[in-house]
Structure 1
Amino acid sequence: MKILIPILIFARSGGSRVLSELANEWVKSGNDVAFLCPDSSDAPYFPTIARILWVNDKGQIAAERNPLAKPSGRYHLQSLYAGLKAVGAEYELILANQSLTAWPVALASCGNARKAYYVQAYEAEYYVNMKTAKDLVLAAISALSYQLPLKRIVNAPVYFRYKNLRASDFVPPGMDLDIFKPLAVPRDIDSNETIIIGCIGRHEPEKGTIYVLQAFEQLAKLDPRFRLRVAYGNLPQGWQHEKCEVVVPKSDAELADYYRSVDILVSPGTVQHGAPHYPVLEALATGAAVVTTGYMGATEDTAWLVKNKDVQTIVERIQELVRDGAARRAKIAAGLLTAQAFSWKTVSAKMMAIFVRTLFGDNAKK
Structure 2
Amino acid sequence: MDSQVSPKRILIPIIGFGVAGGYRVLSELASRWVDAGHTVDFLVHHQMAAPYFPTKAGIKVFNIHGCLVSESVDAAPHHGKPGVIAIYLGMLRGLRKIAAGYDVILANHSLTTLPVAAAKAGRARKFYYVQAYEPEYYQLRGGWKSKVLGSLSALSYRLPLNQIANAPIYIGYKGVRARHWVPPGVDRDLFFRRADTPSFAQGLPWTIGVIGRHEPSKGVKYVLEAFEEYARIDPHVRLKIAFGNLPAGWRHDRAEVVVPSNDHELANYYRAVDVLVAPGTVQLGACHYPVLEAMACGTPVITTGYLPADPINSWIVPVHDAKAIVEAFKDVSTLSTHKLQVKLDEAAQAVGRFYWESVAEEFMQLFA
- TM-score interval, normalised by the smaller of the two chains: over 0.9
Measure, in 2, the Cα distance between the counterparts of 1:292 and 1:63.
42
1:146 maps to which of 145, 148, 157: 157
Structural mapping, 1:347-366, within 5 Å: 347-356=359-368
Distance change (3 Å), C-alpha of 1:208 and 1:104: same
Moved more, 212-221 or 92-101: 212-221
1:175 maps to which of 167, 182, 186: 186
2:200 maps to which of 176, 185, 189: 189
1:129 maps to which of 112, 117, 140: 140
- The one-letter code sitting in structure 1 at the alignment partner of 2:141 is M
Moved more, 214-223 or 12-21: 214-223
The secondary structure found in structure 2 opposite 1:127 is helix
The match for 1:346 is 358
The match for 1:334 is 346
CA offsets 1:268-298 (integer angstroms, 9 cap, x no match): 2111111111111111011111111110010
> Which 5+ residue runs of structure 2 have no aligned equivalent?
1-7
The match for 1:30 is 37
The secondary structure found in structure 2 opposite 1:117 is strand
TM-score (norm 1): 0.92
The offset of 1:192, in angstroms, is 7.2
Measure, in 2, the Cα distance between the counterparts of 1:107 and 1:19.
22
The offset of 1:64, in angstroms, is 4.4
Distance change (3 Å), C-alpha of 1:254 and 1:105: same
Check the 8 A contact 2:49/2:78 in 1, yes or no. no
The offset of 1:254, in angstroms, is 1.1
Matched, 1:312 2:320: no
1:40 maps to which of 41, 47, 71: 47
Structural mapping, 1:91-130, within 5 Å: 91-130=102-141
Measure, in 2, the Cα distance between the counterparts of 1:319 and 1:46.
37
Measure, in 2, the Cα distance between the counterparts of 1:213 and 1:134.
31
Moved more, 180-189 or 155-164: 180-189
Moved more, 256-265 or 306-315: 306-315
The match for 1:58 is 65
- The one-letter code sitting in structure 1 at the alignment partner of 2:277 is V
Measure, in 2, the Cα distance between the counterparts of 1:84 and 1:54.
11
The offset of 1:80, in angstroms, is 1.0
Measure, in 2, the Cα distance between the counterparts of 1:192 and 1:87.
65
- The one-letter code sitting in structure 1 at the alignment partner of 2:157 is Y
1:212 maps to which of 217, 223, 233: 223
Measure, in 1, the Cα distance between the counterparts of 2:55 and 2:162.
25
Measure, in 2, the Cα distance between the counterparts of 1:331 and 1:104.
46
- The one-letter code sitting in structure 1 at the alignment partner of 2:212 is G
Total equivalences in the alignment = 356
Identity of aligned residues (%): 47
Matched, 1:236 2:247: yes
The match for 1:245 is 256
Matched, 1:6 2:16: no
The secondary structure found in structure 2 opposite 1:165 is coil
TM-score (norm 2): 0.92
The offset of 1:197, in angstroms, is 1.0
Check the 8 A contact 1:154/1:170 in 2, yes or no. yes
Matched, 1:276 2:283: no
The offset of 1:69, in angstroms, is 5.2
Moved more, 37-46 or 287-296: 37-46
Check the 8 A contact 2:314/2:347 in 1, yes or no. yes
Distance change (3 Å), C-alpha of 1:217 and 1:63: closer
The offset of 1:58, in angstroms, is 2.7
- The one-letter code sitting in structure 1 at the alignment partner of 2:224 is L
The offset of 1:321, in angstroms, is 2.1
Measure, in 2, the Cα distance between the counterparts of 1:228 and 1:44.
31
Check the 8 A contact 1:232/1:246 in 2, yes or no. yes
- The one-letter code sitting in structure 2 at the alignment partner of 1:29 is A
The offset of 1:334, in angstroms, is 1.2
Distance change (3 Å), C-alpha of 1:91 and 1:238: same
> Which 5+ residue runs of structure 1 have no aligned equivalent?
357-366
